[in-house]
Amino acid sequence: MGAGLSGLSAAAAADEVNVYSYRQPELIQPLLDKFTKETGIRTNVVTASSGLEERIAAEGEFSPADVLLSVDVGRLENAKALGITQPIVSPIVDKNIPAIYRDPDGSWIGLAMRARVFYASKERVKETALDYEDLAKPEWKGRVCTRSGQHVYNIGLFASLIANDGEAKATEIIEGIKNNLNGKPSGNDRSQAKAIYAGECDIALGNTYYVGLMETDDREPEQKKWASAMRVIFPNANNRGTQVNISGVILAKHAPNKANAMKLIEYLSSDEAQEYYADVNFEYPVEPGLKVNPVIAALGPLKPDPLPLAELVKYRKLASEIVDKVHFDDGPSN
């Protein structure tokens, strides 16, 4: 965790804004420093890996939080459900951020996105175009690996299957993927790349940004081998497009520095900030046509599923229930 929560004051200040963040400080601080240089507004940052929405809710009207930076639309929706947001009303934001990456009520906006793709073995997978639905087909029996079905990344994907294919078909697909797994789901997205490298499976579900992290990890060079053993396939590229999730921001309900917070949100929505934010995190700007990190650009073109994320969020609870219903995390049953 970063600066102590108790170290922030809920009293308004003319020259500061208080940021609660799920992003690591080293990834966002250079961008916040640019904001300070341009505006003179100092940023006070608190970081944590979980529980920030609940913390803001517990602090209530005395919360020092002005904005919350989050890494998943589920967390943004959770913030909305907890009643800790207020509408982001700004023609600048509306111009910079496509509507499909904004909450219709203005409770959150997206700043960068990542795609849920296939990590495919370069040696053992010859297909170059596949759909999510294909992973349930018999030819993938014992060849698929993934992290827990209940992880927010997979819940987001399964929610998109419900939205696009309907509940009954999505249930069939999710159960089919489960029965094609090489064993019980485990680890994180990097673990799936490692499993492909080790020959334990041939294809996996993973987020695009992990490829950038693995390919540039000088502290653990072994990860570069994992990344080099696979290539990325963008599922459903020839039809509806690939499922995406966002990193985004909310304006806190009791923001003591609301005017400064809005200046920060508008700054983060700018082309310059989107490009920087996406570049350091190996993500994609939400505004089409902006520059992408070369490592991510090398994966190939991304065609995002055009369904608004606010629509997909509605199916996350049902997706979680389906995961339990088919006993996804128990692994294959036949």
Residues 6 or more apart whose CB falls under 8 angstroms from that of 73 comprise 108, 110, 156, 245, 246, 248, 309, 312, 313
DSSP state of 102: B
- What residue type is 167 in one-letter code? E
Closest Cα to residue 214, out of 237, 236, 230, 234? 230
Q: How far is CA 57 from CA 61, 64, 80, 89, 322, in A?
A: 9, 11, 11, 22, 29
Virtual torsion, Cα 223, 29, 112, 87, nearest 10 deg? 150
Length reported for the chain: 334
* Residue of 305, 274, 314 lying closest to 95 (CA atoms): 274
153 has binding-site annotation: no
Q: What burial letters (b/e) apply to 258-279, b meaning 16+ CB within 10 Å?
A: bebbbbbbbbbbbeebbbbbbb
Task: For residue 20, say whether it is annotated as part of any ligand binding site.
Answer: no
**Is there a contact between 234 and 117 (Cβ–Cβ < 8 Å)?**
yes
- DSSP notation for 108-127: -EEEEEEEEEEEEETTT---
Closest CA to 268 of 77, 66, 86, 104: 66
List, as residue ranges, the binding site: 209-210
List, as residue ranges, the binding site for Fe cation: 209-210
